Amino acid sequence: MTDLSPAASLPLLPLMAADRQARRRALALTLVSALVFCALLPYTQVPLAPLAAFIPIYESSLLLNDLITAAMLFGHFSVLRSKSLLVLAGGYLFTALLTVPHMLTFPGLFSPAGLLGGHSQATAWLYVFWHAGFPLCVMAHALLGHRERQRPHGQLTPTRAVLWAIAAALLAAGAFTALATAGHELLPPILEAGRYTLAGRVALGGTWICSLAALAVLWRYSSRSLLDMWLGVVMAAWLCDIGLSAVLNAGRYDVGWYAGRIYGLLAASCVLIVLLLESNKLFARLVVSHEHALQRGADLHSLNLQNEQRAMQYANALEELHFKEEEIRAVVHNIADCVLTTDAAGVVRSANPALDKVFGYTSADVVGRHISLLIPELAADSERAFIRDGEVGGLHRDGRQLPLELAMNDFEMHGARRSVVVLADISERKQFVAELRRAQVKAEQANQAKSTFLANMSHELRTPLNAILGFAQILLTDKMAVTPEKRREFTQHILTAGKHLLVLINEVLDLAKVESGTLSLSLEPVELQGMMVACQQMIAPLADSRELRLRFVAEPGMCVQADHTRLKQVLLNLLTNAVKYNRKGGLVSVTCIALSPERTQIAIQDGGEGLTQAQLGQLFQPFNRLGREALSEEGTGIGLVMTRRLVEMMGGTIGVSSTVGVGSMFWIELNTAARAGLPAFGQPQPALPAPAAQDGARTLLYVEDNPANLTLVRELVGFRGGLALLSASEAATGLRLARERRPDVILMDINLPGMSGNEAMALLRADPATRGIPVIALSANAMPHDVARSRQEGFLCYLTKPLSVDEFNAALDTALRSVAPQAALPGSAPA
């Protein structure tokens, strides 16, 4: 075959010539096929019982074989760029595609008349199109291959050509399927009562003749390659297939019909088997070649070491050469660039002191030597020996390559031609350009990472918002009748989605603080036993709901150097995952082990399904839930990323080991700390009693400009009871009501029109009449610096939106306990 691409010399099946042994095997297989065909001729019309499973098994095997063969031929085409291979691969894909409608329209298989709106003749005509289309592709393959060998052609773009071939196969298969089903009235009947009609004999006979013509064309114009030889075997079996199952038999379900189908399956498998065998041989040759390449690499490395030793010896010898010339006095010694003078032969006559700075040589080292010592490409016998200006490559004394800018001018001295050579080291310039390019690449990568993060973030935010807005619209509309049960269900969905959205926002904010370096940690000794007790109390309700057993093992006195809050966040995240992805009735085990006097390990073991190696590789990627997005378990895909960053910030490491079907173990290692005055962390605090209701209702003043937020608080206060609500939509009105009504508690928004909540708080503290009233901040500003600023202003506590009902009630209880009950003022009523 003509060289179509640089890969034409590869030992691929379409290029390999058929040797004598391969031809003998092909001839033997063809003769056996012919003998079996002749032996079956007397029995072709003997009826047999219909087998319901035969057609699905037969055509599923055909579909699989033809698809794999087409894929491998498309792969060969992507290397060789041969149109003949592209047509042959499309032919195999066409046959694979037509097997699907042929099986779906087969009468009695999936329905009495077949599927796809088929007719009783649809299956027979699909058989004709199928068995006529592939021989035509084989003939096109042979003719195109002959033409390519005669006249070289331009190379095709592999991806575009393969897509066109696939589209053509799909279009042809779809067209013939539509013609055989929806357009059956345009075609004469082939079968009547299970027997072939005259039109059927003519059509099937024509298909047989077409296959015979394809075999003749292949024999006449083939390249005598292994692929064409085995393709000839396929066409021989194809002839036996059509002859037994469509031409010489009586109809369906006779000996010829079954035998022909088996011939068709063998024909479909022939080229695939040869492709697989030759691919294995090619892989074996590749392994051997790789070993030879490794050996040659070792030899080249040894030679390179020898050359370096010789170069060092040569450089040492040059140090002993000391020549002096009168011309050196004429060179300007203060020029920063290296300036040389050479004679007509290129021998250096003098050099300025900058030679040492640029090349590491002294003038005595190079005078009398050819300039190619410094610039190898200016050797007398090189193609660039007469270069006058431009960029050249220099050689430093220590063997380093130097980028130089050369400028050369000729002059005469005492009747002899001399040249002055100016060499400027441009290493820093090139390094600067290279750094700019690297910075550009990093910026592009960072931009791509940002785009990916924002896309994932958009998806994760829109998912819970979809539930919130969708169910809220249902509850708001009057066009759909919503029962109280459905209303509670929709409200629960909205609440769940809102909580999920809040968790996502908090985790993203934490992750952003970690990534930006603004998250501050307070590393101090943390007692693990108290930490385990606190974590067990918090995770126990979730574990009990899933009927899981918890086991926490920590020796008394074990301490690690960590941040209290962040270590608890890390452990709760890992424990939550261990509970959520465990089996019902399973065990979650937490073990604290001293690995060494300096390091302590905390291991969380679950009994879940375990993780594969591929899943372990994706474990710490943001928004990646390892394919469990469709499960009922909630999650954001950020928790483990945040966990790893927090552990690393605390000077520790995190790892995981997992066995599919057994479970997973996550472990963290932290620095061991000495026990020194540790607080009783995690111990349950006794709950203070709720304030008793007084005879007169106590008063709450809420300063808020958002009507929806005001309505929410009004409903919460109404459910709570024993508390009267005053409201103001701006800070000035709130200050006036605070002085006039003296409420027991003030609930203050931070972002208010005209005056912020922090400014209003300063005025409340400056007024003796309102100085003692406890004030609770309620705002959507959740950043740490916002919270810190408000606490400095004197707020009793800081609540963030969306509001947690339990936190709201707890804050009110704390505020009401901090002041003595006041008598209800006259006229106080909910606003």
Domain-ending residue, one of 495, 516, 537: 516
Say which CATH number the domain at 572 has. 3.30.565.10
pLDDT of residue 729: 84
3-state secondary structure 20-47: HHHHHHHHHHHHHHHHHHHHHHHHCCCE
**Taking residues 556-572, what's their average pLDDT?**
86
Residue 690 banded pLDDT, cuts 50, 70, 90: very low
Q: Is the CA virtual torsion 469, 472, 477, 480 positive or negative?
A: positive
Contact partners, residue 255, CB within 8 Å, separation at least 6: 40, 43, 44, 45, 46, 48, 249
Tens-place pLDDT, residues 423-448: 888 877 878 888 888 888 877 766 77
> Residue 816 burial (CB < 10 Å; 0-12/13-18/19+)?
buried
pLDDT of residue 14: 65
Q: Is the domain of 268 the same as that of 350?
A: no
Tens-place pLDDT, residues 359-414: 888 888 888 888 878 888 777 665 555 566 777 888 888 888 888 888 887 777 77
> Over the chain, what is the mean pLDDT?
77
In the sheet that 663-671 helps form, which strands lie side by side, from edge to edge?
A: 549-553, 587-594, 599-605, 663-671, 653-659
pLDDT of residue 451: 64
End-to-end CA distance of the chain: 94
Tens-place pLDDT, residues 584-608: 888 899 999 998 989 999 999 988 8
Burial code of 668-697, b = ≥16 C-beta within 10 A, e = fewer? Answer: bbbebbeeeeeeebbeeeeeeeebeeeeeb
User: Is residue 470, in this structure, part of any structural domain at all?
Assistant: yes
Residue 633 has pLDDT above 70, yes or no: no
Residue 651 has pLDDT above 80, yes or no: yes
Range of the domain at 344: 326-425
**Taking residues 4-26, what's their average pLDDT?**
64
Residue 540 has pLDDT above 50, yes or no: yes
Contact assessment for residue 725 and residue 767, using Cβ atoms and an 8 Å cutoff: no
Residue 69 banded pLDDT, cuts 50, 70, 90: confident
Q: Is the domain of 189 the same as that of 246?
A: yes
User: Is residue 772, in this structure, part of any structural domain at all?
Assistant: yes
Tens-place pLDDT, residues 162-201: 889 899 889 988 888 888 888 878 888 887 776 777 877 8
User: Is residue 2, in this structure, part of any structural domain at all?
Assistant: no
3-state secondary structure 169-187: HHHHHHHHHHHHHCCHHHC
* Calpha distance 443→449 (Å, rounded): 10
Residue 564 banded pLDDT, cuts 50, 70, 90: confident
Tens-place pLDDT, residues 764-778: 999 999 989 999 998
* Calpha distance 15→225 (Å, rounded): 6
Contact partners, residue 713, CB within 8 Å, separation at least 6: 702, 704, 725, 747, 803, 808
pLDDT of residue 692: 39
User: Is residue 247, in this structure, part of any structural domain at all?
Assistant: yes
Residue 495 has pLDDT above 70, yes or no: yes
Contact assessment for residue 145 and residue 82, using Cβ atoms and an 8 Å cutoff: yes
Tens-place pLDDT, residues 309-357: 887 787 776 665 454 444 445 445 667 788 888 887 788 888 888 878 8
Q: Between 2 and 192, where is the model more confident?
A: 192
pLDDT of residue 446: 60
User: Is residue 181, in this structure, part of any structural domain at all?
Assistant: yes
Say which CATH number the domain at 741 has. 3.40.50.2300
User: Is residue 120, in this structure, part of any structural domain at all?
Assistant: yes
Q: Is the domain of 435 the same as that of 410?
A: no
Computed on alpha carbons and rounded to an integer, the radius of gyration of the chain in Å comes to 43
Number of compact structural domains in the chain: 5
Q: Is the domain of 478 the same as that of 585?
A: no
Domain-ending residue, one of 406, 425, 444: 425
Say which CATH number the domain at 372 has. 3.30.450.20
SS3 619: coil
Residue 155 banded pLDDT, cuts 50, 70, 90: low
Contact assessment for residue 637 and residue 624, using Cβ atoms and an 8 Å cutoff: yes
User: Is residue 8, in this structure, part of any structural domain at all?
Assistant: no
Residue 676 banded pLDDT, cuts 50, 70, 90: very low
Contact assessment for residue 426 and residue 407, using Cβ atoms and an 8 Å cutoff: no
Q: Between 105 and 678, where is the model more confident?
A: 105
φ/ψ bin of 746: left (φ > 0), alpha (ψ from -120 to 50), beta (otherwise):
beta
> Residue 334 burial (CB < 10 Å; 0-12/13-18/19+)?
exposed
Nearest to 688 by CA among 537, 815, 530, 533: 815
Contact assessment for residue 243 and residue 36, using Cβ atoms and an 8 Å cutoff: no
Q: Is the domain of 366 the same as that of 468?
A: no
Could you tell me the two tokens for 484?
């109280």
**Taking residues 548-558, what's their average pLDDT?**
88
Lowest mean pLDDT among 109-118, 209-218, 651-660, 760-769: 109-118
* Calpha distance 745→815 (Å, rounded): 7
> Kind of pairing, strands 559-562 and 599-605?
unpaired
pLDDT of residue 701: 94
Contact partners, residue 557, CB within 8 Å, separation at least 6: 527, 529, 675
Lowest mean pLDDT among 25-34, 75-84, 208-217, 689-698: 689-698
pLDDT of residue 702: 93
Domain-ending residue, one of 403, 425, 447: 425
Q: Between 557 and 628, where is the model more confident?
A: 557
**Taking residues 232-254, what's their average pLDDT?**
78
Q: Is the domain of 730 the same as that of 812?
A: yes
Q: Is the domain of 70 the same as that of 206?
A: yes
- Positions of E strands within 426-523: none
Residue 747 banded pLDDT, cuts 50, 70, 90: very high
Nearest to 338 by CA among 287, 373, 295, 288: 373
Say which CATH number the domain at 506 has. 1.10.287.130
**DSSP assignment string, 233-284:** HHHHHHHHHHIIIIISS-BTTBHHHHHHHHHHHHHHHHHHHHHHHHHHHHHH
Furthest-apart CA atoms within the chain: distance in Å: 124
User: Is residue 13, in this structure, part of any structural domain at all?
Assistant: no
pLDDT of residue 220: 85
> Kind of pairing, strands 653-659 and 663-671?
antiparallel
Amino acid identity at 390: G
Q: Is the domain of 782 the same as that of 708?
A: yes
**DSSP assignment string, 676-707:** -S---TTPPPPPPPPPPPPSSPEEEEEE-S-H
> Kind of pairing, strands 338-343 and 195-196?
unpaired
Nearest to 94 by CA among 77, 73, 75: 73
Q: Is the domain of 353 the same as that of 469?
A: no
- Positions of E strands within 319-400: 338-343, 348-351, 389-395
pLDDT of residue 23: 78
Q: Is the domain of 267 the same as that of 335?
A: no
Q: Is the domain of 501 the same as that of 358?
A: no
SS3 392: strand
pLDDT of residue 726: 92
Contact assessment for residue 225 and residue 82, using Cβ atoms and an 8 Å cutoff: no
Residue 670 has pLDDT above 90, yes or no: yes
Residue 681 banded pLDDT, cuts 50, 70, 90: very low
Contact assessment for residue 422 and residue 406, using Cβ atoms and an 8 Å cutoff: yes
Tens-place pLDDT, residues 700-715: 999 988 776 788 888 8
How many beta carbons lie within 10 A of that of residue 643, not counting itself?
Answer: 22
Contact partners, residue 263, CB within 8 Å, separation at least 6: 33, 37, 237, 238, 240, 241, 244, 245
Contact assessment for residue 501 and residue 469, using Cβ atoms and an 8 Å cutoff: no
Most confident of 324-338, 469-483, 623-637, 642-656: 642-656
Residue 504 has pLDDT above 70, yes or no: no
* Calpha distance 115→133 (Å, rounded): 23
Q: Is the domain of 442 the same as that of 340?
A: no
Percentage of residues in the chain having pLDDT higher than 70: 78
